[in-house]
Structure 1
Amino acid sequence: MEQDTPPTPAAEESGTRRFRAKRDAILAAAAEAINEQSAKGMTFADVARRVGLNTTSVTYYFKRKEDLAAAAFENTLDRLGEMLAEAMREPTPQARVARYLRLNMARLARIAAGEEKAFAVLSDLRATEDPIRTRLMTGWQRVFRDTRALWGPPASRAHKDLAGARAHVLLENTFWLPIWLQRYDLDQYDRVEARLMDVFAHGIAAPGAPWSPVMLDLAHDEAEPGRAAFLLAATRLINELGYRGASVQRIASELNVTKGSFYHHLDAKDELVLACYRRSFDTIAQGQARADALGGSHWQRLSSSIATLLDVQFAEAAPLLRTTALSGLPAGEREAMVDRSNRIARRYAGMMMDGVAEGSCRPVDALVAAQALTSLQNAAFDMRKWATTMPRATAIAMYASTLLYGMFDDRMAVTPPG
């Protein structure tokens, strides 16, 4: 009886390479779909179309859509871990952060040149279901700890808290970079990297600029209290669960009302998200305007605006909607919201440029620094639990200092306010 000839090692290796190449192509397509539509909006059919396969071929590699999304997220976490491991080879905290930023900028340059695909953003991580969610959150916590380790062993609990704030701001800037970097030509990427690292290393404040922000009153009467309650509940849930994870039913349940009550105030979920963004952007603009109305140095105005808006985020009562929800919006609405965000960033840039002229701010690239500040302010909602472990004034000062005084300035750990 004739027996089958076993495959040669070379044939097995070739088959393995083909399998991995196709799996990697599917993961890249899934990441692209997640970044455009969110994990819950991604479909097997769309991913298959992007790689020129049929749906059955995709299910050969990933049996369920949830498994594919989880694999895309795990790929992101692995890539972040690899960059952090390489950065840790540098001898000093500043050299490690610079190396990490350089690796990210090189990756984004390859993406812009069409040589590499973007990895999946992690905004939908918390919207996944267990047991996948637990596994992914464990991976994210590992990445966070590895990022915090760039600053070395902490000298005290306060230094550990400050390193945690720095790690969070650095990672959030990693995810915000692709949003605004596309406004620059590829040959400008090296310059952007240098200017951003200058802010990371030395901050925005001029030498001797004091930390004495004025906490601004942003309270205002709501014309429709019921609608305002929906917007705040929706903002909290979307920040926690992502656009798709925060269903209309879940938002209504949060307020102990019916879905019918929701549609009394808003016609559709996209309208809800747009309304949440408008409320958030109006709050930020109000903070900027009231800071300008204070008078005084432009450093005082900038630090007061940032401190007040961080207080809003840490208080959790009326948080700002995170930009991670943008992926769930139709393209036109998404572009309009990004444009509004850019107008807010330009106002921060104006404060800094005026501060440079009067000597209260360092001579930084104000457009680059403003985008870094936008990322810091936007992501602070995720640090509200961290903020509860210390006096609110200390949390605000520590978190703000990461960019206002730089990521290697320990003053807020040595003599924290509050």
Structure 2
Amino acid sequence: MPASPSSPWKTADDRLKEREIKREAVLLAAARAFNERGFHNTALEDVAADLKVTKPTIYYYGESKEALLAACYRRALDTLDDVTRQSEGDAADARTRLRVLIIAYGEAILSIYGRCLTRVPDNSLSPPLRQELRAIKRTVDDRIRRVLDDGARDGTLKPTDTKMTAFAIAGALNAAALWFEETGPSSAQQIGEHYADLFVAALQPA
């Protein structure tokens, strides 16, 4: 039998995939603009100009500037949620888990979405969105504390005030996102490894 002719019309799956690719492009452009210009100094026209599309196109994929910011936040927080969740299922000792977690956290927070999370205050969002995203941040913080607690129990990390230490770890990495540049001398992984070395050494049992 002769082969069936291919249809020039896109399937529903093709259209969905194309929409997801375009939405991701819009989110990346928005995150880049927020990082470079600041949230309040960025207009949707700026994002449209960067992508060489019309403003209505941006509305189609983002609805509003706040919606774009919230989506960028979610991308960053979903990644942080994933990397810290992995630390709970790892069978390695807590010292090893902490090192892996810090490096992964560093790479996540220094990504384009992670930098957006750090550089744009969440008070730019509506209270309901702010509460939702802060709940994820608290979950991430709790997981860091649990690794520190596990280290005190298994003897691979010295006992410490886990609340302050977790804040110090996240705070140091979040601060790095304020000055990190993709074209800089150190990669996100290298910076994460540097901070991992510092904190793991500081928490070495006597």
Alignment TM-score > 0.5, same fold: yes
Equivalent of residue 151 in structure 2, options 337, 347, 355? 355
**Correspondent of 2:82 among 278, 283, 286:** 286
Following superposition, the deviation at residue 363 of structure 1 comes to 0.9
Supply the RMSD in Å over aligned alpha carbons: 2.8
Alignment correspondent of 2:116: 321
Q: Rg larger in 1 or in 2? A: 1
Pick one of 17, 26, 35 that aligns with 1:230: 26
Residue number in structure 2 paired with 1:242: 38
1:130 match:
none
Amino acid at match of 1:228: E
Output one character per residue of 1:293-321: Cα deviation in whole Å (capped at 9) or x when no partner.
Answer: 4420122222212212323444x455453
Alpha-carbon contact 2:26-2:51 (below 8 Å) kept? yes
**Aligned equivalents of 2:75 and 2:182: distance in 1?**
25
For 1:367 and 1:394, how far apart are their aligned partners in 2?
26
Q: Does 1:343 align with 2:139?
A: yes
What 5-or-longer segments of structure 1 have no aligned partner?
Answer: 1-220, 407-418
- The one of 96, 106, 113 equivalent to 1:300 is 96
The one-letter amino acid paired with 2:152 is V
Q: Distance in 2 between matches of 1:238 and 1:326?
A: 12
Structure 2 letter corresponding to 1:306? I
d(CA) in 2 for partners of 1:364, 1:344: 18
User: Quick one: structure 1 residues 390 and 263, their matched pair in 2 at CA, closer, same or farther if it must change by over 3 Å?
Assistant: closer
- For each residue in 1:342-362, what CA deviation from the matched residue of structure 2 results, as whole angstroms up to 9, or x when unmatched? 121111111111121111222
TM-score, normalised via structure 1 length: 0.40
- Which structure's relative contact order is higher, taking Cα pairs within 8 Å and 6+ residues apart? 2
Normalised by the length of structure 2, the TM-score is 0.75
**Where does 1:162-177 land on structure 2 (aligned, <5 Å)?**
none
Consecutive unaligned residues in structure 2, runs of 5 or more: 1-16
Q: Within 5 Å, which residues of 2 pair with 1:1-16?
A: none
Cα offset for 1:326?
0.9
Measured against aligned partners, the alpha-carbon deviations of 1:258-302 in whole angstroms (never above 9, x if no partner) come to: 211111112222222211111111001111223334420122222
Amino acid at match of 1:374: A
Could you tell me how far 1:398 is from its partner in structure 2? 2.4
- 2:59 is aligned, of 259, 263, 270, to 263
Q: Deviations over 1:104-143 (max 9, x none)?
A: xxxxxxxxxxxxxxxxxxxxxxxxxxxxxxxxxxxxxxxx
- Say if 2:168 is the partner of 1:372: yes
Aligned partners of 1:381, 1:310: CA distance in 2, in Å? 9
Equivalences, count = 185
Contact 2:72 2:113 in 1 (8 A): no
In structure 2, the CA distance between the partners of 1:338 and 1:386, relative to structure 1 (3 Å rule), is same
| Partner residue in 1 for 2:4 | none
Given residue 234 of structure 1, which amino acid in structure 2 is its aligned partner? A
The 1:283–1:233 alpha-carbon spacing in structure 2 relative to 1, beyond 3 Å, is same
Letter in 2 for 1:321: C
Q: In the aligned structure 1, how far is the partner of 2:102 from the partner of 2:156?
A: 16
3-state SS of paired residue (1:321): helix
Residues 391 and 250 (structure 1), Cα distance of their counterparts in 2 relative to 1, 3 Å cut: closer
Deviation of 1:335 after TM superposition, in Å, equals 3.0
